Structure 1
Amino acid sequence: MSAIEQKPSTEASGRFWLASYPEGMAQTIAPLGHSSIGALVESCCARFAERPAFTSMGKTLTFRDFDAASKKVAAWLQAQGLAKGDRVAVMMPNILQNPVVIFGILRAGLVVVNVNPLYTPRELEHQLKDSGAKALFVLENFAGTVAQVVSRTAVRHVVVTTMGDMLGLKGLIVNLVVRKIKKLVPAWSLPGHIPFKQVMAEGAHGTLKPADISPGDTAFLQYTGGTTGISKGATLTHANLLSNMEQIKLWIEPVFRLKKRPEQLVFVCALPLYHIFALTVNGLMGIALGGHNVLIANPRDIPAFVKELGKYRVHIFPGLNTLFNAMMNNPDFQKLDFSELVLTLGGGMAVQRPVAERWQKITGCAVTEGYGLSETSPVATANRFDSPDFTGTIGLPLPSTDIEIRDDEGKTLALGEVGEICIRGPQVMAGYWQRPDETAKVMTPDGFFRSGDVGFMTAQGYTKIVDRKKDMILVSGFNVFPNEVEEVAMSLAGVLECAAIGVPDEHSGEAVKLFVVKKDDALTEADVKAHCVANLTNYKRPKFIEFRTELPKSNVGKILRKDLRG
Structure 2
Amino acid sequence: MTVKERLWYKDYPEAVPQSLEYPDQPLPNFLKKSAEEYPEREAIYFMGKRITYRELMDDVHRMARALKELGVKKGERVSIMLANSPQAVISYYAVLMIGGVVVQTNPMYKERELEHLLVDSGAETIICLDLVYQQLEKVKPRTPLKRVIVTSIKDYLPFPKNRLYPLKLKMDGIKPQIPYGDGVFAFPVIMKKALPDPVEIEIASMDEVALLQYTGGTTGLAKGAMLTHRNIVVNVVQCSHWMYKGERGKEKVLGLVPFFHVYGMTVVMNFSIYMAATMVLVPRFHVKDALKVIHKERPSFFPGAPTMYVGLINHPEIAKYDLSSIKACISGSAPLPLAVQERFEKLTGGRLVEGYGLTECSPVTHANPIWDKRKNGSIGLPWPDTECRVVDPETGEELEAGVAGVLQVKGPQVMKGYWNRKEETENVLRDGWLNTGDIAMMDEDGYFYIMDRQKDMIIAGGFNIYPREVEEVLYDHPAVQEAAVIGVPDPYRGETVKAFIVLRPDEKVTEQDLDTYCRSKLASYKVPRLYEFRDRLPKTTVGKVLRRELVEEEKRKASMEEQGEK
Do both proteins adopt the same fold according to a TM-score greater than 0.5, normalized to the shorter chain? yes
| 1:422-461 equivalent positions in 2, closer than 5 A | 422-444=408-430, 446-461=431-446
**1:106 aligned to 93, 96, 102, which one?**
96
How far is the alpha carbon of 1:15 from its aligned partner? 2.2
**1:52 aligned to 31, 39, 42, which one?**
42
**1:38 aligned to 7, 10, 28, which one?**
28
**1:336 aligned to 317, 321, 333, which one?**
321
Deviates more, 1:75-84 or 1:286-295: 75-84
| Residue 236 of structure 1: aligned partner | 227
Distance 1:309 1:238, change over 3 A: same
C-alpha separation in 2, matches of 1:482 and 1:467:
7
| Residue 302 of structure 1: aligned partner | 287
Q: Which runs of 5 or more residues in structure 2 are unaligned?
A: 553-566
Quick check: 2:485–2:498 contact (8 Å CA) kept in 1?
yes
| Residue 366 of structure 2: aligned partner | 381
C-alpha separation in 2, matches of 1:250 and 1:205:
33
Residue 13 of structure 1: SS of its match in structure 2? helix
Distance 1:209 1:366, change over 3 A: closer
Residue 5 of structure 2: SS of its match in structure 1? coil
Which letter does structure 2 place at the counterpart of 1:128?
L
Which letter does structure 1 place at the counterpart of 2:452?
D
C-alpha separation in 2, matches of 1:240 and 1:389:
26
Quick check: 1:306–1:332 contact (8 Å CA) kept in 2?
no
C-alpha separation in 1, matches of 2:175 and 2:457:
41
Displaced runs of 4 or more, over 4 A: 184-191
Residue 424 of structure 2: SS of its match in structure 1? helix
How far is the alpha carbon of 1:523 from its aligned partner? 1.3
Whether 1:511 and 2:496 are equivalent positions in the alignment is: yes
How far is the alpha carbon of 1:311 from its aligned partner? 0.8
| Residue 12 of structure 2: aligned partner | 21
Which letter does structure 2 place at the counterpart of 1:433?
W
Whether 1:134 and 2:124 are equivalent positions in the alignment is: yes
Quick check: 2:26–2:203 contact (8 Å CA) kept in 1?
no
**2:137 aligned to 139, 147, 157, which one?**
147
Distance 1:325 1:463, change over 3 A: same
Note the alpha carbon deviations across 1:182-224, whole angstroms, 9 max, x for none: 3455556576310111120122277734413320001000000
Whether 1:500 and 2:488 are equivalent positions in the alignment is: no
Which letter does structure 2 place at the counterpart of 1:538?
S
Note the alpha carbon deviations across 1:133-173, whole angstroms, 9 max, x for none: 01000011111111110111111110010111122443532
What's the C-alpha RMSD, in Å, of the aligned pairs?
1.7
Which letter does structure 2 place at the counterpart of 1:85?
G
Distance 1:47 1:183, change over 3 A: farther
C-alpha separation in 2, matches of 1:356 and 1:413:
30
Quick check: 2:248–2:277 contact (8 Å CA) kept in 1?
no
Note the alpha carbon deviations across 1:451-502, whole angstroms, 9 max, x for none: 1111110111110000000000001111000001111011111111111000
Quick check: 2:329–2:351 contact (8 Å CA) kept in 1?
yes
Distance 1:457 1:326, change over 3 A: same
How far is the alpha carbon of 1:228 from its aligned partner? 2.5
C-alpha separation in 2, matches of 1:134 and 1:411:
45
C-alpha separation in 1, matches of 2:164 and 2:410:
46
| Residue 415 of structure 1: aligned partner | 401
Quick check: 1:415–1:456 contact (8 Å CA) kept in 2?
yes
Whether 1:537 and 2:523 are equivalent positions in the alignment is: yes
TM-score for the superposition, normalised by structure 1: 0.94
Distance 1:367 1:206, change over 3 A: closer
Quick check: 2:248–2:276 contact (8 Å CA) kept in 1?
no
How far is the alpha carbon of 1:178 from its aligned partner? 4.2
Q: Across the two proteins, how many residue pairs are aligned to each other?
A: 549
| Residue 562 of structure 1: aligned partner | 548
**1:472 aligned to 457, 468, 484, which one?**
457
Which letter does structure 1 place at the counterpart of 2:448?
T
Residue 478 of structure 2: SS of its match in structure 1? coil
| Residue 117 of structure 1: aligned partner | 107
| Residue 220 of structure 1: aligned partner | 211
Quick check: 1:328–1:334 contact (8 Å CA) kept in 2?
no
| Residue 190 of structure 2: aligned partner | 199
C-alpha separation in 2, matches of 1:465 and 1:268:
27
C-alpha separation in 1, matches of 2:329 and 2:230:
26
Residue 70 of structure 1: SS of its match in structure 2? helix
C-alpha separation in 1, matches of 2:181 and 2:487:
49
Note the alpha carbon deviations across 1:496-523, whole angstroms, 9 max, x for none: 1111000011111100001111224421
Distance 1:462 1:390, change over 3 A: closer
Distance 1:181 1:19, change over 3 A: same
C-alpha separation in 1, matches of 2:4 and 2:375:
27
Distance 1:212 1:491, change over 3 A: closer
Deviates more, 1:366-375 or 1:165-174: 165-174
| Residue 6 of structure 1: aligned partner | none
| Residue 70 of structure 1: aligned partner | 60
Deviates more, 1:516-525 or 1:273-282: 516-525
C-alpha separation in 2, matches of 1:292 and 1:401:
29
**2:149 aligned to 152, 159, 169, which one?**
159
Deviates more, 1:546-555 or 1:20-29: 20-29
Quick check: 1:314–1:341 contact (8 Å CA) kept in 2?
yes
Quick check: 1:356–1:390 contact (8 Å CA) kept in 2?
no
Residue 310 of structure 1: SS of its match in structure 2? helix
**1:485 aligned to 462, 470, 473, which one?**
470
Deviates more, 1:499-508 or 1:184-193: 184-193
C-alpha separation in 1, matches of 2:299 and 2:212:
31
Residue 165 of structure 1: SS of its match in structure 2? helix
Residue 153 of structure 2: SS of its match in structure 1? coil
Deviates more, 1:209-218 or 1:125-134: 209-218
Residue 341 of structure 1: SS of its match in structure 2? coil
Which letter does structure 2 place at the counterpart of 1:134?
E
Quick check: 1:11–1:415 contact (8 Å CA) kept in 2?
no
How far is the alpha carbon of 1:334 from its aligned partner? 3.4
Distance 1:272 1:183, change over 3 A: farther
| Residue 4 of structure 1: aligned partner | none
How far is the alpha carbon of 1:46 from its aligned partner? 1.0
TM-score for the superposition, normalised by structure 2: 0.94
Note the alpha carbon deviations across 1:289-338, whole angstroms, 9 max, x for none: 11001001111x21122112211222101111111001111133333333
| Residue 388 of structure 2: aligned partner | 403
Distance 1:182 1:15, change over 3 A: same
C-alpha separation in 2, matches of 1:132 and 1:551:
34
Whether 1:346 and 2:346 are equivalent positions in the alignment is: no
Which letter does structure 2 place at the counterpart of 1:78?
K
C-alpha separation in 1, matches of 2:401 and 2:171:
59
